Each structure stands twice: as structure tokens, then as C-alpha cells.
């Protein structure tokens, strides 16, 4: 099993302006069906009642490429609901994962509920200001809750900023969540 059932792992809660909330999509939910969300139980992270992340199929599909390609020492911008952490830790080629999360409330809600192994470090800092103390094999920036051309400009800027923190080897890479969709103005799944 690649992804865990985060709605079973995480409990609902509130910290500051953030909220973890479970929700159900029913067979009769036409809007969800049109958005490609099958019936089932899910969980979402909200910031001031705006969805930041969930564990719907779109989130899983748009993160899959990174998960499959990741190796070695990894830097991730954004914790979200921790969806990608478990599949990474299940992979023996992952040496370490450093997550930079801007909001302490997200860390309180999510990281405090999950037992990770010693390969994971969560740092409370802003990815736009953070200065890594080492280099990484893979850098994944996943801080956006939506995409558009302005977000793509931020992605390009962040990738340029973090390029110097990437190890020099043939398989190292930097990528951003939904980068191709933002660049090309395409809708997410």
C-alpha cells in the first residue's frame, strides 16, 4: 500500500487558524463526482476555512511522481497532512527527510499525531527564508493550495534559490507540486 488512510491516522482538531476535519463524499455528491473524487472518507487541512490539503485522489496523483523518483536525503517545503511522508519512509533508499513547515499550528495538528522514525525532521520555518545547513539529493516544494501563473513564478524563484542546496549527482532534482499544471495553465485532476 503506497498511501496510508490519513483519515484513520489523524484526529480532527483545531490549532489557531488551522483545522483538521474529516469529511465524507457520498455516491449522490454530484460536485465531487465531477471533480473525480470517489465516494469515501477523507480528511482535509483548512486554513481559515479554505482547504490547504486533503487526501483525495488528486492530491495522491499529483504527488506520485515525486514519491517514485525520490531517494537519499530529501528536503520538503510544506508538511500539509503528512500524506507523502509515509510512502517515503517505506522506501529503503530514503536516508533522511527534512520538512520545513511555516506554521507551528500545522506541526501541532499533524506531526504531533504521527509517529515517524528517526529519518524525519520537521523544522518550523518559512521555506522562502530558510537556509539549509546541508545539501540534498531531492528537493520538493509543496506549499501551494492552488495553482496559477503567479504560483509558477514563485516556483521558479524557489527552485533557483534552492539549486545551490542540491547535491551534484546525475539523479538529483528539484521539483514543485503541480508545476507542469501551473506552468501550462492546466486544471488539476
Helix (H, G, I), strand (E, B) or coil at 55: coil
Using the 3D structure, point to which of 57, 74, 94 is the last residue of a domain.
57
Q: Report residue 139's pLDDT band, with 50, 70 and 90 as the boundaries.
A: very high
Residue 114 pLDDT grade (very low, low, confident, very high; cuts 50, 70, 90): confident
Residues 88, 166, 89: CA angle, nearest 5 degrees:
10
Of 16, 1, 19, give the one whose Cα is nearest residue 83: 1
80 and 17 in one domain?
no
Domain end position, chosen among 42, 57, 72: 57
Structural domain count of the chain: 2
Pick the more confident residue, 114 or 58.
Answer: 58
Nearest to 5 by CA among 35, 42, 52: 42
Pairing of strands 18-25, 13-15: antiparallel
Q: Quick one: pLDDT at residue 42?
A: 97
Average pLDDT score over residue span 158-175: 96
- 75 and 49 share one domain: no
Say how many C-beta atoms besides its own lie within 10 A of residue 162's C-beta: 18
Provide the residue range defining the domain that includes 46: 6-57
Structure confidence at residue 189 as a pLDDT band (50, 70, 90): low
**Residue 168 is assigned to a structural domain of this protein:** yes
Same domain? For 153 and 178 the reply is: yes
| pLDDT per position as a tens digit, 55-80 | 999 999 999 999 999 999 999 999 99
Residues 115 and 174 in one domain: yes
Same domain, 10 and 102: no
Statement to judge: residues 76 and 115 lie in one domain: yes
What integer is the mean pLDDT of 165-179?
A: 95
C-alpha cell at 23: 469529511
Is residue 173 a part of any domain in this protein? yes
Is residue 189 assigned to a domain?
no
Whether the CB-CB separation of 74 and 96 falls below 8 Å is answered with yes
Q: Are residues 41 and 133 in the same domain?
A: no
Q: Is residue 42 part of a domain?
A: yes
Looking at residue 1, its pLDDT comes to: 59
Task: List b or e across 49-73, with b for residues whose CB sees 16 or more CB atoms inside 10 angstroms.
Answer: eeebbbbbbbbbebbeebbeebbeb
What are 176's strand-pairing partners? 141
Global pTM reads: 0.94
pLDDT score of 146 more than 90: no
What CATH number does residue 103 fall under? 3.40.50.150
Sign, Cα dihedral of 36, 39, 40, 41:
positive
DSSP one-letter string for 158-184 = HHHHHGGGB--STT-EEEETTHHHHHH
Same domain, 53 and 69: no
On whether both 47 and 102 belong to a single domain, the answer is no
Structure confidence by residue, pLDDT tens digits, 7-56:
999 999 999 999 999 999 999 999 888 888 899 999 999 999 999 999 99
- Residues 11, 99: one domain? no
Between CA 49 and CA 32, with CA 189 as vertex, the angle to 5 degrees is 55
Amino acid at each position: 500500500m503506497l498511501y496510508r488512510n490519513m483519515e484513520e491516522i489523524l484526529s480532527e482538531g483545531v490549532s489557531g487558524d488551522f483545522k483538521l476535519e474529516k469529511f465524507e463524499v457520498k455516491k449522490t455528491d454530484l460536485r465531487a463526482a465531477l471533480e473525480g473524487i470517489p465516494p469515501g472518507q477523507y480528511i482535509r487541512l483548512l486554513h481559515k476555512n479554505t482547504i490547504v490539503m486533503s487526501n483525495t485522489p488528486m492530491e495522491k496523483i499529483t504527488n506520485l511522481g515525486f514519491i517514485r523518483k525520490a531517494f537519499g536525503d530529501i528536503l520538503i517545503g510544506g508538511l500539509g497532512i503528512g500524506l507523502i511522508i509515509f510512502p517515503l519512509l517505506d522506501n529503503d533508499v530514503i536516508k533522511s527527510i527534512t520538512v520545513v513547515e511555516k506554521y507551528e499550528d500545522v506541526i501541532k495538528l499533524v506531526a504531533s499525531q504521527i509517529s515517524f522514525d528517526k529519518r524525519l525532521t520537521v523544522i518550523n520555518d518559512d521555506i522562502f527564508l530558510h537556509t539549509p545547513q546541508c545539501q540534498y539529493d531531492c528537493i520538493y516544494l509543496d506549499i501551494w493550495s492552488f495553482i496559477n501563473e503567479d504560483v509558477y513564478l514563485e516556483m521558479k524563484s524557489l527552485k533557483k534559490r534552492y539549486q545551490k542546496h542540491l547535491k551534484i549527482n546525475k539523479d538529483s532534482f528539484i521539483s514543485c507540486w503541480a508545476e507542469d499544471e501551473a506552468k501550462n495553465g492546466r486544471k488539476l485532476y
